[in-house]
Amino acid sequence: MKESINNYEDLLEMLDALLREPAPFWNEFYTDRDKGVPFFSNKPDENLVSYFEKEWLRPGKVLELGCGPGRNALYFSELTCEVDAVDLSETSLKWATERAKEKGADIRFIQKNIFDLEIGEGSYDIVYDSGCFHHIAPHRKMSYIDLVSKALKPGGHFAITCFIEGGALGGADLSDWDVYRKRSLMGGLGFTEEKLRTIFKDFKELEIRKMNAAAPSSNVFGVNGLWTALFKKNK
Ligand SMILES: C[S@@+](CC[C@H](N)C(=O)[O-])C[C@H]1O[C@@H](n2cnc3c(N)ncnc32)[C@H](O)[C@@H]1O
């Protein structure tokens, strides 16, 4: 029955329909590769590199959510991780696939909405998200947490970078209800440290800190305005 709400999924889809459809926006976003978007540079996040340098993370099976043109997926792959990298944008994955081919990297790129993934329980050692979660609407937050939790093995790690509320990159200061009043995520939701702790309370917090800015000459990516956080799934 069209436009009838008979189950929880129907309700989520109705709420999705109040907001911008993501795929056309992101496909257009990646059409001009020279437009000077900082994360278009092919460098891994400085926090991600630091987790491996400190041996908080070790190579294993990785699921990347919203991988874009693949800069972090490539880094995982260089470290001998087995990588499944998901994004709903065809244009981003075209770029990511080209980058992987240039490096001879064997990465499984999956063009899907993360909520349409079929994932076996406990399939991954690491789930990574750089800049996807802050584009996820509040009504999908519970599904997102369930997805991360289901994907991870017991003791597996989840790491995320997301906008600081009112930070250098915007980071909209909106209540969850405001998103539906405005019918917009206003360029991406901002978070406080407390909000992140509350959302990911079922995981063990290993580190929450601001991303360190990196010089353009650096071989890592780092900008002001982002939180970086590393959590562990309980055994
Ligand atoms: C800010 S970009 C970050 C890209 C990449 N992680 C990076 O840092 O270079 C956010 C990405 O999330 C993807 N995305 C947003 N919502 C998504 C969803 N529901 N399912 C899959 N991908 C999604 C977008 O297509 C976009 O490529």
Q: What digits encode the pLDDT tens for the residues 157-199? A: 999 999 999 999 999 999 999 999 999 999 999 999 999 999 9
- The CA distance from 156 to 159, in Å, is 10
88 Cα–ligand 1 center, Å: 7
Strands 226-232 and 61-65 turn out to be unpaired
What is the CATH number for 93?
3.40.50.150
In a domain, 53, yes or no: yes
130 Cα–ligand 1 center, Å: 8
Nearest to 69 by CA among 87, 56, 50: 87
Structural domain containing residue 176? 8-30+46-232
In a domain, 194, yes or no: yes
2 Cα–ligand 1 center, Å: 29
pLDDT tens for 8-55 read 999 999 999 999 999 999 999 999 999 999 999 999 999 999 999 999
Q: Is the pLDDT of residue 235 over 90?
A: no
In a domain, 143, yes or no: yes
In a domain, 2, yes or no: no
In a domain, 1, yes or no: no
Ligand 1 pocket test target in 88, 99, 160, 161 with most atoms within 8 Å of CB: 88
Using a 6 Å CB cutoff, which residues line ligand 1? Answer: 22, 26, 39, 66-69, 71, 86-89, 92, 113-114, 130-132, 135
DSSP code of residue 215: -
1 Cα–ligand 1 center, Å: 31
- The CA distance from 99 to 112, in Å, is 19
Closest residue CA from atom 12 of ligand 1:
66
Q: Into how many domains does the chain fold?
A: 1
Q: What DSSP line would sit under 7-37, residue for residue?
A: SHHHHHHHHHHTS--HHHHHHHHTS-TTS--
pLDDT tens for 104-159 read 999 999 999 999 999 999 999 999 999 999 999 999 999 999 999 999 999 999 99
